[in-house]
Structure 1
Amino acid sequence: MALLSRFCFCLGWLLLAGWLPATRVQAQNTPPPPDLLGDLERQTTDTLRRELVAATFKGTRIINGHSVETPGGGTLVFLISHRFGTLNSGAYNFFGLDQATIRLGLEYGATDRLTVGIGRSSLDKTYDGFLKYQALRQTTGLHAIPVSVTLFGSSALTSLRYFDGLDHTLPRRLTYTVQALVARRFSPGLSVQLSPTVVHRNLVDTRRQHNDVYALGVAGRQKLNKRTALMLEYYYRLPTTADPSTRNALAAGFDIETGGHVFQLHVTNSQGMIERHFLTQTTGNFFDGDIYFGFNVARNFTLKPRL
Structure 2
Amino acid sequence: MALLLAQTEARAQDDLLKTLEQQATDSARAEYVQATFKGTRVINGQSVETPGAGTMVFLISHRFGTLNSGAYNFFGLDQATIRLGLEYGLNDRLTVGVGRSSLEKTYDGFLKYRALRQSTGPRAVPVSVTLFASSALTSLKFTGEDRPDHSRLTYTYQALIARKFSPALSLQLMPTLVHRNFVNTRAQQNDVYALGIAGRQKLTKRVALTAEYYYLLPGNTADEFRNSLALGFDIETGGHVFQLHFTNSQGMIEKFFIPQTTGRWTKGDIYFGFNISRVFTLRSKE
Work out the number of aligned pairs and report it.
Answer: 271
Could you tell me which of 83, 90, 98 is aligned with 2:78? 98
1:1-307 residue pairs with structure 2 within 5 A?
A: 47-167=27-147, 169-240=148-219, 242-307=221-286
Distance 1:225 1:42, change over 3 A: farther
Amino acid at match of 2:67: L
Q: Is there any run of 5+ residues in structure 1 with no aligned partner, and where?
A: 1-36
Superposition RMSD in Å: 1.8
Deviation at 1:46, TM superposition (A): 5.4
SS in 1 for 2:224: coil
TM-score if structure 1 supplies the norm length? 0.84
Deviation at 1:102, TM superposition (A): 0.2
CA distance in 2, matches of 1:39, 1:304: 36
Deviation at 1:43, TM superposition (A): 7.3
Which residue in 1 is equivalent to 2:11? none
Q: Is the 8 A contact 2:187 2:220 kept in 1?
A: no
Q: Is the 8 A contact 2:150 2:181 kept in 1?
A: yes
Q: Is the 8 A contact 2:39 2:241 kept in 1?
A: yes
Deviation at 1:239, TM superposition (A): 1.4
SS in 2 for 1:242: helix
CA distance in 2, matches of 1:208, 1:97: 35
Deviation at 1:206, TM superposition (A): 1.7
Deviation at 1:240, TM superposition (A): 1.9
CA distance in 1, matches of 2:124, 2:42: 25
Determine which structure has more spread, i.e. the larger CA radius of gyration.
1
**Alpha-carbon displacement from aligned partner over 1:271-298 (angstroms, at most 9, x marks no partner):** 0000000011110001221100000000
**Alpha-carbon displacement from aligned partner over 1:125-145 (angstroms, at most 9, x marks no partner):** 100000000000111000100
Identity rate, percent:
72
SS in 1 for 2:266: helix
CA distance in 1, matches of 2:42, 2:78: 26
CA distance in 1, matches of 2:283, 2:264: 45
SS in 2 for 1:244: helix
Deviation at 1:120, TM superposition (A): 0.3
Q: Is there any run of 5+ residues in structure 2 with no aligned partner, and where?
A: 1-16
TM-score if structure 2 supplies the norm length? 0.91
CA distance in 2, matches of 1:177, 1:164: 28
CA distance in 2, matches of 1:40, 1:84: 60
CA distance in 2, matches of 1:302, 1:261: 13
Distance 1:305 1:42, change over 3 A: closer
SS in 1 for 2:74: helix
Distance 1:69 1:116, change over 3 A: same
